[in-house]
Amino acid sequence: MRLCEVLQFGENLWAVDRIGLSGGLLLMWKDDVKVRVDSSSPGHIVAEVAGRGFLPWTLTCFYGNPDAAQRKFSWELLRKICRETHGSWLCVGDFNEIVSLAKKSGGRLRGASAMEEFKKVLDQCCLIDFSPVKTDFTWCNEHESNTVMERLDRGLCNQEWFDQFEGVDVQLLDWWESDHRPLVVDISIVEDGTQSGKAKRNTRFHFEEAWCEEDECKAIVEGHWKSGEPCAIAGSFHGKTHRVGKILHGWNKKRKKELNGRITKAKKDVVDKGTRWRVGNGQRVRIVEDPWLPGPRSFKIYDKPELPAQLCVVDLTLPNGEWDESFIRANFNDEDAKLIISLPHVKDGVEDKMMWD
């Protein structure tokens, strides 16, 4: 590809062709970075990024469907990527949606339900908008009259990636032969004791009043304030506050990370416990292992029968799609059997989907 040659990326690229005049994704990387593309489609590229100075992490280049009626499939794709991603995750791209009317200027009002769906999927995927400036528009329709501008492009990440790359920043470049502004994620990487990328700004230490309620904080202050220092400066009030403040800063950072981890896990648990499969053709839903019954408890079969683990819901049906009631009643307890038979018959051509119940 000519662009790859001009920018001196060699053959390190992965391209997804556009459809008509919309979309198109291109991922390029330098030789000193190892990239393994795991999956791609007209709406995404998922790759593992590894290199010197940082642990491997997952990159998703995302393109939301420009058709509002089809955008729900983009959100399903994002949820699927989230479920399959483990560890640090960065997700950047053109999502073709805004989170509020404050991210739009001109044109018709955006439907509230569409914005709520976008915010919902970001929350379900625990994605953080880490841009320090969230008011700049990234797209313009380029019409001199009735100009419309929106913030469609953004950099998102999970808490683990944000903690891994401390001081990360997002910059928007000027408009240049496109209706979108280029978005640059500026990552600081520690290598051989030096830090490349954006320099981290030193901030003044602030003691939080809420820390007074923490026994661990009290122990840190008492223990390190009384510890002797041979240096007169270090033993002075200024030296002690500086030393204790530095230790408290590290303690609070670790504490926040643990708290955010618990919050992320709690959110995931809430989502997992409240979701079940909506049976369509029954070909993806495992009978014994997956949550798919419309009943209480965990939406799963309560008394697990002696059936192969790989059997799917479609295996409980007759050739005409109706439930095989005799087989079901013979292998499941009365309550589970009634719940199964109460479900609509499986439908060819209708995919199984996860739903919130």
pTM of the entire structure?
0.54
Query: CATH second-level architecture of 1-186?
Result: 4-Layer Sandwich (3.60)
CA 277 – CA 145 distance, rounded (Å): 48
* Interval 209-267: pLDDT, tens: 778 888 888 888 887 776 544 433 344 565 667 677 778 878 888 888 888 888 777 76
Closest CA to 78 of 98, 100, 93: 93
Written as six digits, the tokens of 75 are 């959100």
Q: What is the pLDDT of residue 199?
A: 40
One-letter identity of residue 49: V
Distances 265 to 58, 102, 105, 273 between C-alpha atoms, Å: 19, 31, 37, 12
* Sequence ranges of the chain with CATH classification 3.60.10.10: 1-186
- For the stretch 329-351, pLDDT in tens is 999 988 889 989 988 888 877 88
**Over the range 198-212, which residues count as b (16 or more CB within 10 Å of their CB) and which as e?**
eeeeeeeeeeeeebe
Looking at every residue in the chain, the average pLDDT score rounds to 81
Question: Does pLDDT of 139 surpass 80?
Answer: yes
